[in-house]
Amino acid sequence: MSHGNRWRWFSPWYFLFPFLVVSSLLIVWPTLVTAGLAFTDFNAVSAPVWVGLDNFLRLAQSEIVRTGLVNSGIFVALAVPLRTAGALGMALLLRGRERPFGVLRGVVYLPTVIPEAAYALIWLWILNPVYGPLNLLLGAVGLPAINWLTDPVYARLGMVILATFQIGEGFVLLLAARETIAQDVYEAAAIDGADRWRAFRYITMPLLLPWLLLLVGRDLLVSLQNTFAPSFIITYGGPYYATTFVPLLVYEMAFDFLELGMAAALLLFVLLVTGLITLAITDFSVVKE
């Protein structure tokens, strides 16, 4: 560490410098401009024209936008509890140092790291109503085939199912959190005569609760946004708007219909909602400290 003094001037702020510059260019500035476009009529070609809150009024009146918001709401309401429960269940099942557990942990994490376009393409095949392995499997055990791609209810459910396998991040978070609970707490409880369920109910759950809340909050945001690739590739929003989620709607408005002002307004609305959720989560001391 002989060169230490030469670099003494280097305060922690300098470490942040590249990030501050590049993120201003690639994130902050683009977001501010997009937010500004929300108050304009912009069709990609001629200059944006200021229209005040017009776009928001049109959004409020649009039936399709309402459908998109409802769809996203249904998706989140189904996917978030399922994903959280799945992550918790797998984390509790797969703790342990033996090799098989390590391999299984990797397998559970797998769908999370698969490129989303490839993942959606695979599911397009799996959900095929006649030739898809899922329906063939249902048929093999004597269950009726399900119209995954053509029935509005099952199309939405299909989207939820494929999202339920992408829980790797929450899974690792809870796995790590579970590790922090000391074994002697359970041993003491066992001596007091607590069974497994009681131990789970009165020790594991309360201690994991802050992480579960964090996870639920984070999942609200992730689930809202991650619907784009599957709905774009598998159903293109169909059947009849059943899987037209907000991100697909923004995309369609902006790039199919060239209503970039409207798209920006919808985006800004989503951003405000997600921003509020984010602030609520980061308010937990767990995140900041």
Partner 1 sequence: MKNRLFSFLGIVFLVFVQGCTPPPPAVTFSVFGDPAELAAYESLVEAFHEQNPQIKVQLQHIPSQSDYRRRLATAFSAGTPPDVMLINYRRFASFAGQGGLEPLDTYIEQSEIINRSDFFPIALSSFEWRERLWCVPQNVSSLVVYYNRDLFDEAGVSYPEDNWRWEDFMRAAQELTQDHDRDGQIDQYGAGIAPNLFRLAPFIWQDGLDIVDDPLQPSRLTLDQPEVLTVFQRFIALQTVDQVVPNANAEAAEPSENRWLNGGLAMYFNSRRGVPTYRTIDSFEWDVVRLPITQDEWIGILHSDAYCLAAAAENKEAAWQFIEFANGVQGQTIVARSGRTVPSRPDVAQSPAFLDGLPPANAQTFIDTVDQLRGVPVMAGWTAIEEITGKEIERAFYGQVSAEEAAAAAIELTAPYFENNQ
Partner 2 sequence: MTRGSRHQIGRIARLLAASVIALAFFLPFYWAVVISLRPLGSPPPSTIVWWPSEAQWSNYTAIFSIVPFARYFLNSVRVAAVAVPLTWFFASITGFGLSRLPYRWRRLLVPLMAIMLVIPGVAFWIIRFRVFQFFGLLDTLWALIAPAFMGGNPLFILLFYWTFRRIPQDLYEAARMDGASWWQVWVYIGSPLSRATGAAVVVLAFVKFWSDFTDPVLYIFDTGKYTLPVGLQLIRQLDQTNIPLLMVGAVFMILPVLVVFITMQRVFWRERPTGLFPTRSRARRERI
Which residues, numbered 52-71, are part of the site for partner 2 (CB under 8 A)? none
**Residue 29 contact, options partner 2, partner 1, none, Cβ 5-8 Å cut-off depending on partner type:** partner 2
Give the shortest CB-6-to-partner 1 separation in angstroms. 9
**Of 45, 61, 63, 130, the one binding partner 2 by CB under 8 A:** 130
Q: Which helix (H) or strand (E) holds 129?
A: none
**Of 65, 175, 262, 265, the one binding partner 2 by CB under 8 A:** 175
Burial of 144 (0-12, 13-18, 19+ CB in 10 A): exposed
**Of 35, 54, 56, 58, the one binding partner 1 by CB under 8 A:** 58
**Residue 147 contact, options partner 1, partner 2, none, Cβ 5-8 Å cut-off depending on partner type:** partner 1
What number of other Cβ atoms are within 10 A of residue 182's Cβ?
10
- Confirm if 241 and 247 have CB atoms less than 8 A apart: no
Kindly compute the dihedral angle of the four CA atoms of residues 74, 75, 81, 87, in this order, to the nearest 10 degrees.
Answer: 180
Give the shortest CB-33-to-partner 1 separation in angstroms. 10
144 binds partner 2 (CB under 8 A): no
Angle between helix 260-282 and helix 205-225 axes, rounded to 10 deg: 170
163 binds partner 2 (CB under 8 A): no
29 binds partner 1 (CB under 8 A): no
Give the shortest CB-224-to-partner 2 separation in angstroms. 8
Residues numbered 128-187 forming contacts with partner 1, rule: CB under 8 A:
128-131, 147, 149-150
6 binds partner 2 (CB under 8 A): yes
**Of 239, 274, 278, 284, the one binding partner 1 by CB under 8 A:** 239
Task: Report helix, strand or coil for 39.
Answer: coil
- Confirm if 268 and 33 have CB atoms less than 8 A apart: no
**Of 82, 104, 157, 203, the one binding partner 2 by CB under 8 A:** 104
**Of 46, 61, 183, 285, the one binding partner 2 by CB under 8 A:** 285
63 binds partner 1 (CB under 8 A): yes
**Residue 45 contact, options partner 2, partner 1, none, Cβ 5-8 Å cut-off depending on partner type:** partner 1
Q: Which helix (H) or strand (E) holds 5?
A: none
Q: Which stretch binds partner 2 (CB under 8 A): 53-61, 103-111, 146-154, 198-206?
A: 103-111
Long-range contacts of 124-128 (CB under 8 A, 24+ apart): 124/233, 124/234, 127/158, 127/234
Least Cα distance to 263 among 239, 279, 245, 247 occurs for 247
Burial of 266 (0-12, 13-18, 19+ CB in 10 A): buried
96 binds partner 2 (CB under 8 A): yes
Q: Give Cα separations from 10 to 13, 15, 21, 23, 24 (angstroms).
A: 8, 8, 17, 21, 22
- Confirm if 160 and 82 have CB atoms less than 8 A apart: yes
What are the residues binding partner 1 (CB under 8 A)? 9, 14, 17-18, 21-22, 42-46, 58, 62-64, 128-131, 147, 149-150, 238-241, 251-252, 254-260
